Amino acid sequence: MAAPEQIERIELHRMRIPLKVPFVTSLGPNNEADNVVVVITARNGMVGYGECSPFWTINGETAETCLAVGSHLSKALMGHDPVDMEGAHALMDRLIFANNSIKSAFDIALHDIAAQLAGLSLAHHLGGVHNPGLLTDYTVSIGVPEKMATDAVDIVRNGFTVIKVKLGGDGDLDIERIKAIRDVIGQKIPLRIDANQGWDPETAIRVLNALGNFNIQHCEEPIPRWQFMEMRRVKAASPIPIMADESCSDHHDAERLIAMGACQRFNIKLGKSGGLFKARKIIALAEAAGMEVQVGGFLESRLAFTASAHLALTSKAVKYCDMDTPLMFTADPVEGGIRFGPKGELNVPTEPGLGARITSQWLASPAHSITR
C-alpha cells in the first residue's frame, strides 16, 4: 500500500481588499475585506488553497489573531496526511478552542488537496452532484428607508431574483424600511431579512408579525445569540420562518437548537463552523430533522465562496445561497472559481479539487511560512 500523502509546507497570507461601498449591518459598517489565505503544499507538490474572513463581532477573530493562531496550527499539522480530515480537525481542536474562522481556511485547503488526489471536483468528492440550480441573493445594507429602497431597485435592475435586507435596531424603522422597499419593487420578488441579533424578543415578535404579508422567505437571527433560549418563543409567534445564524456555529449548536425546536432553518457559514468537515455535520442534522439550510459567508473572496458553492451541491436540504459579497469587492484576486451569471446564477467549477486559487500578485510574501 502506498504511503499516505504528507503536508510539506504551509503559508499564511493577509489579503486586504476595499469594498466598492460600505457594507453595513446592525453590528456596524465594513469598508474592506481583511482576509487570511492559507496555502498548503503536499509532499507530491500538490497545492491547496483556503481562505477565511474573520468577523470581529461574530466570531471574535481578526486577521491578526488568525495569523497568530494559524502559525501554531501550521506547526501542528506539518507532516499530517491532508486526506485525514477528522484527524486534522482533532489536532486543531485539541490545540486551541474555537477560532473557527482560521480553522476553516485550513479545512478548505486540505479539502482542495484531498479532492485533487481523488481526481474529483470538490462537490463530487463530498458526494454531491453538479447542477445549474444555485442562485444567490444580493444584499441591501441597513440605512435610511429611502436609500435602501433605491438600492433594492438597482438590485432588481441588475437581474437578481431574491433580495436580502439588513435590519435590526429600531423596530418601527425596520418596518418602514421594508415598506419602502416594497413600495418601489412590488411584492413579487421574495425578500430575506437579517436582523443580526438586533431585536429583543418582544420587538422581534412585533416586527415579524407586522411584516408577515410582505413575501419574506425567512428572518435570520432576530435576537441576541445569548438569548437562544428565547428563540423558540419568537418562532412560535412569528408568521415568518426563523433561521439561526450567529447562534448556530457548529454541529453542537445545531444539535441543541434542533432539540429545543428553536428555529426552522440554519444559515451555515464555513467561517463559523470551522470549515466543510463540520458544516457537513450540520447539514446531516438538518436533513434528519427535515430542516432547510442556507449556505452563506462573511466577506470572503470567490475562493472561499467556491468552497461554499461546492458544499451547497451536496444536499437537497440546501435551499438558499447568500454568496454575493465578492461582487462588492473593488478587485478580484481569484483565478478560476465560481462565476456569477444572470439572475444571480452561480456556476461552479468542475475540475479536480476546489477549482480556484489566489493569483500570484496577491501572494507576494507570506506573513507566516512553515516548512517541514
Residue in 107, 194, 230, 246 annotated catalytic: 194
Residue in 34, 107, 220, 230 annotated catalytic: 220
Judge whether 200 counts as a catalytic residue: no
Judge whether 220 counts as a catalytic residue: yes
Residue in 103, 164, 235, 269 annotated catalytic: 269
Task: State the cell numbers at 77.
Answer: 499539522
β-bridge mates for residue 23, sequence order: 30
Judge whether 20 counts as a catalytic residue: no
Query: Would you tell me how many other CB atoms lie within 10 Å of the CB of residue 275?
Result: 32
Tell me the angle at which helices 63-77 and 100-118 cross, rounded to the nearest 10 degrees: 50
Judge whether 272 counts as a catalytic residue: no
Nearest CA among 31, 14, 63 for reference residue 325: 31
Judge whether 166 counts as a catalytic residue: yes
Q: How far apart, in whole angstroms, are the C-alpha atoms of residue 166 and residue 195? A: 6
- Compute the residue count for the chain: 372
Task: State the cell numbers at 324.
Answer: 454575493
Q: Quick one: 43 exposed, middle or buried, by C-beta within 10 A (0-12, 13-18, 19+)? A: middle
Residue in 81, 107, 245, 253 annotated catalytic: 245
Q: How far apart, in whole angstroms, are the C-alpha atoms of residue 224 and residue 241? A: 17
Residue in 103, 164, 166, 235 annotated catalytic: 166
Q: How far apart, in whole angstroms, are the C-alpha atoms of residue 74 and residue 211? A: 48
Task: List, by residue number, the catalytic residues.
Answer: 166, 194, 220, 245, 269
